[in-house]
A = this chain, B = another copy of it.
């Protein structure tokens, strides 16, 4: 079993002091070129790499950042994490992952631990329960301890932190307007997340775009049976010409209801989903979807954090970055 060599051991082998070795490896001008070379040669030979834990202790940095994810099964968050990891890798930082499972308690517990010094900064998409109960003390606590926080995706509440997300209202307004522009009048919206922050915003955008004289058609329920009922009413009784969906579950329900009532997509019904591209492309018919560019959100969040880590005091106020979304037309909106 190989064991890592230390400065002390190198020093002994070279018959010089520990500090000389350290300085030589860090190209200090205090050390002669000759010794530097001698030291570096032996260091390379033994594949010396400084013990990160010792370096961390000395520098009182951990070289790691914490990422809090509400729900990793949601491929959106998985892809955000992927972006975060890529950017962290580039910056030489380690990513510690925590999953809150949308629970406030778990989130608190995580934040509490993080104040102990495990990480230099935190990226968080706050849990659903946290938003609902509007309890943000644990996030303030992080800030109190001087740990920079960046909010991603779920950003519509007041906390002194940098943030990155999309314009939910604008996105859904634009999508709705796009359908109107094609001459479609009866547009519905299906959602299972109407009680959540982002859900509300998306519905707001939909409503905002519809002309005053047009009815709203909304199928909203987190309970499957109820959603099914409301969706069927919207499709069969109200006979909407298009449905915009705010999330995975509602998108799938619309597809199922259309199938069961032999409503053809896209001939009889246009559908726009808010799902990932993998799924959108593979469903039959493929679903036109709103791309949120999750990886970009991840790298962007990480970049905001890096900026803070490099000069935390320079700019006190939180910066906000809103990413553009993009409607990708596939089979479900063919005209």
Q: Which residues of A contact B (CB under 8 A)?
A: 1-4, 49, 51-54, 56-57, 60, 62, 64, 72-73, 75, 78-79, 81-82, 85-86, 89, 94-99, 115-118, 144-146, 248-249, 252-253, 255-256, 259-260, 276, 278-279, 282-284
Contacts and interface: CB of A to CB of B under 8 A. Distances in A.
Contact of A146 (B3, B144, B249): B3
Contact of A85 (B52, B89, B98, B255): B98
A4 B147 CA distance: 12
A86 B62 CA distance: 23
A252 B283 contact: yes
A89 B64 CA distance: 17
B94 A96 contact: yes
A253 B284 CA distance: 9
Given A75-B75, A117-B51, A117-B52, A4 B145 contact: yes
Nearest to A67: B97
Contact of A54 (B57, B86, B97, B98): B57
B1 A146 contact: yes
B144 A2 contact: yes
Contact of A72 (B79, B255, B256, B259): B79
B81 A72 contact: yes
A300 B284 CA distance: 36
A294 to B, nearest CB: 9
Contacts of A56: 53
Given A52-B118, A53-B53, A64-B96, 19 more contacts: A4-B116, A51-B117, A52-B117, A53-B62, A72-B79, A72-B81, A73-B75, A73-B82, A81-B97, A81-B99, A85-B99, A95-B96, A95-B97, A96-B97, A248-B282, A249-B282, A252-B284, A255-B284, A256-B282
Nearest 9 Cβ contacts at the A-B interface: A252-B282, A256-B284, A78-B78, A97-B97, A259-B284, A72-B78, A49-B116, A53-B56, A1-B146
Most buried by B among A81, A96, A97, A252: A97
